[in-house]
A and B are shown apart, each in its own frame.
Chain A
């Protein structure tokens, strides 16, 4: 397809009171192109997309569609111009069927002004087919999986005759297989000339879906990159400095063996779609070591950690697992904590903290049993411990009575760390420990991990950001479809890790998808 310029934004400025949210942003989009927009929280992505979907009007700057100036005063204007945004929280009504959702607000009606069900179903089938979705238009949205809902939302955008589609972190809640399917649909739309702005947090997606990458930072365009640029380059644009400077360096000598798995295999009680059970895992973590878990989305990193901790993973383990030199059968959270394990999940809001409770309450949550002798709360001792933990983890503000929901993402994550570390674990399991965390907090978390490791803590950290693993870890284990396929010492490069996470067996199928 030829490169026809579809949309152009020039010098977009927006202030909210004293906050300069957009400082002269230029962006363009061709027909039949996927333009990936990257940026940390607060970089201005959302504001820019609100401008583009008519939700807010910029203070200055121009928009051009097909070369003609475009004024967007309301979301309706944007829709009429063919610009449709699909937000993370999909605006679908779960209790209605797909057809009713596709025509919500634009219902087709018969001569008697009643709903024309047959016609809507017919047209819905057509729209679903155009979006490459194989679903019955009569199915209730509530019966669909997240990935399917996402596709319905795309079909709905097509119903509104979208020429420009904005996808806001569409894969955030999807399993690997669902994400793969979504990519297929996006590519198909691209082939049909739709221009797509794809907002993402996941660096690993960029190369697989994007034609062009623009990185935003502090309300400006920080730079553009080719989709196959190394993640290190993207990260440098994202954070504005050399990423490796954030890392405190690697560790010294490793101590006693804390965790060792040898051909361990997890058999889930109930197989779950999109849940990649660990099939053949061999790895070890020694005291003082930070070991990384790498692999593609869906390789089974999260599943390995949660099954080791006995959290939301019913089933049984086979093979050799030792913790602290003794055989260990993961099963319950209690058993894991007793054995000296602690776990920071990748879902901070969902399972990391209680949003409406105070920082103090959250920090003592997993150590309450120890801190409540005879079942009674020991206020003074608790207050001391909380104060010390806030200090250690550098939570700001240092206010035990602040509600966690009012903290920034980075400080929320520090609270989660403080909570897990209060139990004085020997082995810390981490899943995407710096997701949605600002640069300053990232550096602080890295520093703290290295200090703790030096004191004898072992860390097993899963991350989809290769530069993070490379900068932080003493060793990196690569997983693929639930199997540990390779292990590398510090100093390995991105390309090697990437090559091993794809592997020969799956290279062809993934390439063709």
Chain B
């Protein structure tokens, strides 16, 4: 009558268990293999693996990737944050406005932008926990509000960032975000993503805070009974998500040398897609940062393959949609199969 989990080392189970454990990485490997197989060739070389192309892929995923890091915390804690794309837009505009219009230096601009984005996230967290409004609703409203603030901050304008000294120009150091390192191979934007990803993985897996996030998302009442500060955890994950959106906004402004109030639209969905493909449970309580990172890279690589093959934009969207469904569907099937054993 008692259902007992199978012992660890039963040989027949190992492949499946491994598959479940590394599901998102497996998907990533498949997509990369596909990229190599279907890549066009030029001068006998595989275009997909060309240094320039790889740099393109890792650069293109850096912003979504950064958003997805924060999103992972929110979703594991049992929430959702639809505002991140808009907060990215707000942050990019704020960065440009402060640097160009108001003549602030980097030392003042960057912390202020990050503070605004973090506070914006925390406010959403407070609204959803204290007033018990569903996170979906609060952050949907937050999405609108952040766009509104972005329009106000930019005076409804696209702000170009020009570099140099004197009024109306941004400090040249900021242009670094659009550059590449190591002999022009590794985009700085990607470096920012990598550093944040390491920090996020550390925070989630190696700290008390990370454990609390899992516990709150897994069973809020049990967490409360254990003396875990449930409310603070629920609020703070939105702060983290806001912070990530702020960083992504700064990176955005630096990469493209402008701030536009309408940028970042739809990014939140890509971030959520990366998290879900990475195997994080939308109901909360389970997930992994490595998975999220793999999910983000997978989406970027996929888009790149389709572009290389001159697939039309419409078909790209359809293919991306299909991959999300397949990836999430496979995980659910495999995951369910494994847990019911």
**A-to-B contact residues, CB < 8 Å:** 41-42, 311-312, 333-334, 337, 343, 345, 350-357, 361, 364-366, 368-369, 372, 375-377, 396-397, 399, 401-403, 405-411, 419, 438
**CB atoms of B227 and A377 under 8 A apart:** no
The answer on a CB contact under 8 Å between A405 and B4 is no
For residue B210, which residues in chain A have a CB less than 8 angstroms away from its CB?
Answer: 377
- The answer for the CA separation of A97 and B46 in the assembled complex, in Å, is 63
Bound state CA distance, A408 and B2, in angstroms? 5
Chain A positions within 8 Å of B224 at CB level: 311-312, 333, 351
Instruction: Specify which of B1, B2, B3, B215 is in contact with A365 (CB 8 Å cutoff).
Output: B215
In the bound complex, do residue A375 and residue B208 qualify as a contact, i.e. CB atoms below 8 Å apart?
A: yes
Please tell me if B219 contacts chain A, counting CB pairs below 8 Å.
Answer: yes
Residues of B within 8 A of A333 (CB): 224-227
**A406 partner residues in chain B, CB cutoff 8 A:** 3-5, 339
Chain B residues lying within 8 Å of A334, measured Cβ to Cβ, are: 227
Contacts of A337 in B (CB 8 A): 227
A345 with B3: in contact, given A369-B208, A377-B207, A406-B339 (CB under 8 Å)? no
Closest CB in chain B relative to A481 CB, distance in Å: 26
Determine whether B7 belongs to the interface, using a CB cutoff of 8 Å to chain A: yes
Give the residue name and chain of the B residue nearest to A354 (CB). Answer: B218
Known A-B contacts A333-B225, A368-B211, A405-B339; the reply to A397 vs B1 at CB < 8 A is no
Q: A333-B225, A337-B227, A354-B222 are in contact. Are A42 and B4 (CB under 8 A)?
A: no
* Given the contacts A357-B214, A361-B214, A376 and B5 also touching, CB distance less than 8 Å: no
- Whether a CB of chain A sits under 8 angstroms from the CB of B223 is yes
Assembly CA distance A334 to B224 (angstroms): 9
Decide: B209 and A375 in contact? CB cutoff 8 A: yes
Q: Are A397 and B7 in contact (CB under 8 A)?
A: yes
- Nearest Cβ in chain B — how far from A165, in angstroms? 27
CB-nearest residue of chain A to B210: A377
Which residues of chain B in 183-219 are interfacial with respect to chain A, using CB atoms and an 8 Å cutoff? 205-212, 214-215, 218-219
Q: In the complex, given contacts A368-B228, A377-B208, what are 10 additional A-B residue pairs having Cβ atoms less than 8 angstroms apart?
A: A42-B2, A351-B225, A372-B207, A375-B208, A376-B208, A399-B5, A401-B8, A403-B5, A403-B339, A438-B2
* CB atoms of B286 and A311 under 8 A apart: no
B221 near A: Cβ within 8 Å? yes
Of the candidates A41, A350, A438, the one whose C-beta lies within 8 Å of that of B221 is A350
A409 and B1 CA atoms in complex are apart in Å by 10
Given contacts A354-B285, A405-B339, contact A365 B222 (CB under 8 A): yes
State A355–B1 Cα separation when bound (angstroms).
19
Cα distance, A357 to B285, chains bound together (Å): 8
- B281: A residues at CB distance < 8 A: 356
> Is the CB–CB distance between A351 and B1 below 8 Å?
no
Minimum CB–CB distance for A334 against chain B, Å: 5
Q: How far is the CA of A220 from the CA of B108 in the complex (A)?
A: 78
Whether A356 contacts B286 by the Cβ 8 Å rule is yes
In the complex, per-residue mask of B1-35: 1 if CB is within 8 Å of any chain A CB, else 0: 11111011000000000000000000000000000
Q: Which residues of B sit under 8 angstroms from A402, Cβ to Cβ? A: 5
Q: Which of chain B's residues has its CB closest to A335's CB?
A: B227
A206 to B132, CA, bound (A): 41
Q: How far is the CA of A397 from the CA of B9 in the complex (A)?
A: 13
The answer to whether B211 and A353 touch across the interface, beta carbons within 8 angstroms, is: no
B residues whose Cβ falls under 8 Å from a Cβ of A: 1-5, 7-8, 205-212, 214-215, 218-219, 221-228, 281, 285-286, 339
Report the separation of the CA atoms of residues A353 and B3 in the bound assembly, to the nearest whole angstrom: 17
Give bound CA distance, A376 to B211, whole Å.
Answer: 10
Cα distance A438–B4 in the bound complex, in angstroms: 14
CA distance A222 to B222 in the complex (A): 37
A365 touches B208 (CB 8 A): no
Complex A-B: 6 CB contacts under 8 Å: A311-B225, A343-B225, A350-B219, A356-B218, A368-B212, A372-B207
Write the chain A residue with the least CB distance to B340: A406
Question: Which single member of B7, B205, B208, B221 contacts A368 (CB below 8 Å)?
Answer: B208
CA separation between A353 and B227, bound complex, in Å? 13
Q: Do the beta carbons of B226 and A408 come within 8 Å of each other?
A: no
Set of chain B residues within 8 Å of A438, measured between Cβ atoms: 1-2
- Closest chain-B Cβ to A92's Cβ sits at a distance in Å of 23
Given contacts A311-B225, A334-B227, A366-B225, contact A377 B211 (CB under 8 A): yes
Is there an interface contact between B225 and A345, defined as CB atoms closer than 8 Å?
yes
Q: How far is the CA of A71 from the CA of B314 in the complex (A)?
A: 58
Contact A397:B215 (CB < 8 A) given known A352-B222, A377-B206 = no
Chain A nearest CB from B173 CB (Å) reads 33
Contacts of B227 in A (CB 8 A): 333-334, 337, 366, 369
Partner of B2, one of A350, A351, A364, A411: A411
Contacts of B209 in A (CB 8 A): 375
Q: Which residue of B lies closest to A408 (CB)?
A: B2
